[in-house]
Structure 1
Amino acid sequence: MHVVLVADHAYVNGGQAKVALDSALGLAARGVRVTLFAACGPADPRLAAAGIRVVCLNQDDVSTTRNKLAFLVQAIWNGEAARRLAAELALCDPRDTVVHVHAFAKALSPSIGVALRRSGLALVYTLHEFFLVCPNGGFYEYPAAAICRRTPMSRACLTTDCDAKSYPRKLARVVRHVGMTRIARLPTIFRHVVTISDLQERVVAPLLPRGTTFHRVDNPISVARAPVREEAPGDFLFVGRISTEKGAPVFAEAARRAGIRAVFVGDGEQRAELAARYPEAAMLGWRDAAGVQALMRQARALVFPSVWYEGQPLTVYEALACGTPVVVSDACAGREAVIDGETGFLFRSGDPDALAAHLRRLTDDALAARMGRAAHARYWAAPLSLDAHLDRLGGVYAAVLRAGASGRPAARPAGRGPSLADRGRVKHSEPASR
């Protein structure tokens, strides 16, 4: 089998790229021929060392460009990416090649759809976010700090300023979305879509063509197994971007109301404001992976108060693997990992009083320790390891190749086994518009 992975970045700059590169390295270690096609470099040196062919265009993304106008053109329609990808795919044998797209919205642009469609190769897309159906990629209205429940590209959508930066940028993304749907036709060429949470499938299924086959593949979690801590639980911990959509202000206010100290690991646009408004909170800044996990193992609980959908928040699973209970918002996909009252608590999204009530409960050392042991046991009964991820991917690739590039319906791969999402299912109905 030959797997061509397509991503915006050839190095790890976040969770999306980390999953793509980890799977590339894991597949290569299993003897699969792997090619990585990416817009932005430099390429991670581990790829070449593993024998992976890397085609990197060494282009900019929005964070590195010095010419905003040129990048706007690239983001809407990256002609070079389309040409180079077409040339690369022309070298592939359709009998054994699967093209797996992880990302396009940060640099590659929808233009890659033309090359993908003309290649005649078997295709699969991982839904790390929602750009395939939503112009701003998140079903989130940033100015209103609320989940957006409008139908994408409807009149209500087009007239709503939902972008994190400005309405003109929203309009640019609308133009890109039109190119994606009308010219590249990305939503129609991916007949096989990988989701990383049940919530994702419920949200996007009504918006993708009938006959789309969904495959659930959990992201791999990189946590070494270790015994549960014996010492008394420590602080309540937040890990991630300190921003409104991540619920950072909700946690800070809930901690104050509960009379406990909030500890933030990370950075973001609201760090300074929250530090000034809540001087009792501890702002630790970013830590490396080992440092974050060490803090998790010492924590009383991880608080994940995100007020938007998310995809599959890795920090929630990392905390459970470390033997730390999780208090999570009921609006995001992280709720699928937690068994309410056993391995953590769910609380009403955006409600600091509801969160504060759970924080007060967890000041009980015995309860926090008991939940931590339950979280550890349940996670390690079916860990989200790289091997489990690769096994599942292999099943998806085989199903996609059997269906063929013609798009014949494929049987769903065998069930994913007793994952945390299955064992801790939380029933939730999305709005009818979804």
Structure 2
Amino acid sequence: MLYQSAPAADRLQRVVLFHDFSQALGGASYLVQVLIAQLRRRGVLVTFFAGDDGSGFRRDDVDFIPLHGKPLLDRTRLSALTLGLYNRAVFSRVHDWIRCHDSPGTIYHLHGWSKILTPAVFGALRQVRERLILHAHDYFNGCPNGAFFNYTTERDCRLKPLSIPCLRTQCDKSSRAEKLWRSGREALRRELGGDVAGATRMLLIHPGQAANLKVAGWPAARLHAVRNPAAPPCADRVRAEENRGVVFIGRISTEKGADLAARAAAIAGVPLTFVGEGSAMGELRALNPKSVFLGRQDRAGVARALMRARLAVMPSRWSEPFGLVALEAIGSGVPVIVNDRALIAGEIAGAGLGVAMNTADVVAFATELMRLHADDACISAMSRAGHARYGELCNSEESWAEQILAHYQDVLAEAAVHQEMT
């Protein structure tokens, strides 16, 4: 393995991971669990700092440190304004761990921090920033609202984050006050981290993310694409051409376009199943009373939902940086309709694995649902192609881990050279 064959001065000794959640609640939190498993399988020592209380973490082969924070959305307004900006206890805990346990062979990997953790973690990690890697599951390491998207106008945003035009624009999904608060968090992150990057490199989940992060001020040389892994929940191809109905999998919210799916399915008169939880469930029941809500499901439950579906949909309003849900459906043999803003949309359509379109045009969306429900041959062709070729657009869990390990090793080598020069 890469970390075993490297020179002693550069050898990977430990990976310190940081993430908001200690259990797999969604895409990024699921992937951090995959990464932990892959690292331990290769014998790499892991310390895992989780922002929550750790009640859902079950591994005993990891040095696990829960930070006992609450999701920002669950805090009172006063708590969010204070601890949501800077959590001194978290700073002290991380800073003290580094002081006691750091070594030249330790890599720090901040996987996700926007839901519970605060810019305080960047202050603690500043002392080891030459061995710090960030992961771009969203755009919170550059854009205040994490999306380079104006939720008010429902348009992609190309303003330079924290510029005067940016600060004057109300783009937040909630309110002007929350935009200013999020801008404060981003400004504080940059100040505590030392610059806009605050790390030696960022791992992108799709190469298309680089354009936005460059607008934010990230140097191109620090941006490196490592596509997410996707493992289809259904091992055997779903015979989608024999099914009827649409499945929406993921967070049930406005930005994910759950309401667009509900409206389009109602117009088309096709069954719709939601797998997941979220704030928009009440609205969706009114928009499409016949829709079925299964709630959050484990992978077996997701597989059962896919096995009954003819189509999956990913109609997010913003430019999804990857689309794990879409690729898992495609790999299972269920074609997808995706918003053409998603970074993988063109790749999916170009490979004949699904349809990319403006899903915000609900009438056109409904028309496409009806067309595909009437065309068994088209669905069969996309189903077979997706089941055979989904891997062209993503990594396997093993190849994903190997690429990340290669970045760890490169960072250690660069840090060792820098240390020798100073």
TM-score range, shorter chain: 0.7 to 0.9
Distance 1:407 1:312 in 2: 34
Query: Over residues 147-176 of structure 1, what are the superposed CA-to-partner deviations in whole Å (9 max), with x where a residue is unaligned?
Result: 333321122221222223322222222222
Aligned partner letter, 1:46: R
Aligned partner letter, 1:103: G
Distance 1:272 1:12 in 2: 25
Distance 2:37 2:221 in 1: 28
Q: Matches of residues 262-273 of structure 1 in structure 2 within 5 Å?
A: 262-273=272-283
Does the 8 Å contact 1:316/1:334 carry over to 2? no
Query: Over residues 333-389 of structure 1, what are the superposed CA-to-partner deviations in whole Å (9 max), with x where a residue is unaligned?
Result: 341551347111111242223323432331211211121011000025686332122
Distance 1:45 1:177 in 2: 29
User: In the alignment, which residue of structure 2 is the partner of 1:432?
Assistant: none
Distance 1:306 1:195 in 2: 19
Does the alignment pair 1:353 with 2:360? no
Distance 1:7 1:285 in 2: 24
Paired residue secondary structure (2:82): helix
User: In the alignment, which residue of structure 1 is the partner of 2:270?
Assistant: 260
User: In the alignment, which residue of structure 2 is the partner of 1:61?
Assistant: 71
Distance 2:116 2:377 in 1: 49
Paired residue for 2:337, among 324, 327, 334?
Answer: 327
Does the 8 Å contact 2:23/2:33 carry over to 1? yes
Paired residue for 1:233, among 239, 243, 258?
Answer: 243
User: In the alignment, which residue of structure 2 is the partner of 1:429?
Assistant: none
User: In the alignment, which residue of structure 1 is the partner of 2:3?
Assistant: none
Moved over 6 A (4+): 405-408
| Distance of aligned partners of 1:249 and 1:11 in 2 relative to their CA distance in 1, 3 Å threshold | closer
Q: Matches of residues 26-41 of structure 1 in structure 2 within 5 Å?
A: 26-41=38-53
Paired residue secondary structure (1:9): coil
| Distance of aligned partners of 1:213 and 1:407 in 2 relative to their CA distance in 1, 3 Å threshold | farther
Does the alignment pair 1:156 with 2:165? yes
TM value normalised by structure 2:
0.87
Does the 8 Å contact 2:158/2:212 carry over to 1? no
Does the 8 Å contact 2:50/2:65 carry over to 1? yes
| Distance of aligned partners of 1:405 and 1:127 in 2 relative to their CA distance in 1, 3 Å threshold | farther
- Shift of residue 64 of structure 1? 4.2
Query: Over residues 128-158 of structure 1, what are the superposed CA-to-partner deviations in whole Å (9 max), with x where a residue is unaligned?
Result: 1111111111223333344333321122221
- Shift of residue 327 of structure 1? 1.0
Does the 8 Å contact 2:15/2:107 carry over to 1? yes
Paired residue secondary structure (1:362): helix
Query: Over residues 260-294 of structure 1, what are the superposed CA-to-partner deviations in whole Å (9 max), with x where a residue is unaligned?
Result: 33333334333322322333444444333211222
| Distance of aligned partners of 1:352 and 1:92 in 2 relative to their CA distance in 1, 3 Å threshold | same
Distance 2:190 2:391 in 1: 42
Paired residue for 2:253, among 243, 251, 265?
Answer: 243
Aligned partner letter, 2:285: A
Aligned partner letter, 2:409: A
Paired residue for 1:370, among 375, 378, 381?
Answer: 381
- Shift of residue 323 of structure 1? 0.7
Does the alignment pair 1:398 with 2:398? no
Distance 1:203 1:97 in 2: 30
Aligned partner letter, 2:228: N
TM value normalised by structure 1:
0.85
Aligned partner letter, 2:323: P
Paired residue secondary structure (2:138): coil
Distance 2:418 2:312 in 1: 43
Higher helix fraction (1 or 2) = 2
Does the 8 Å contact 1:85/1:112 carry over to 2? yes
Query: Over residues 5-54 of structure 1, what are the superposed CA-to-partner deviations in whole Å (9 max), with x where a residue is unaligned?
Result: 1122223333222212221122012100111122212254433x2x2111
| Distance of aligned partners of 1:44 and 1:359 in 2 relative to their CA distance in 1, 3 Å threshold | same
User: In the alignment, which residue of structure 2 is the partner of 1:205?
Assistant: 214
Paired residue secondary structure (1:339): helix
Unaligned runs of 5+ in 2: 1-11
Paired residue for 1:389, among 400, 405, 408?
Answer: 400
| Distance of aligned partners of 1:258 and 1:10 in 2 relative to their CA distance in 1, 3 Å threshold | closer
- Shift of residue 93 of structure 1? 4.6
Aligned partner letter, 1:308: W
User: In the alignment, which residue of structure 2 is the partner of 1:419?
Assistant: none
Aligned partner letter, 2:15: V
Does the alignment pair 1:166 with 2:188? no
Paired residue secondary structure (2:203): strand
User: In the alignment, which residue of structure 1 is the partner of 2:79?
Assistant: 70
Distance 2:224 2:353 in 1: 27
User: Which stretch of the first structure deviates more once superposed, 293-302 or 26-35?
Assistant: 293-302
Distance 2:305 2:212 in 1: 34
Distance 1:91 1:221 in 2: 37
| Root-mean-square deviation (Å) | 2.5
Number of equivalences: 405
Paired residue secondary structure (2:185): helix
User: In the alignment, which residue of structure 1 is the partner of 2:100?
Assistant: 91
Unaligned runs of 5+ in 1: 409-434
- Shift of residue 196 of structure 1? 0.4
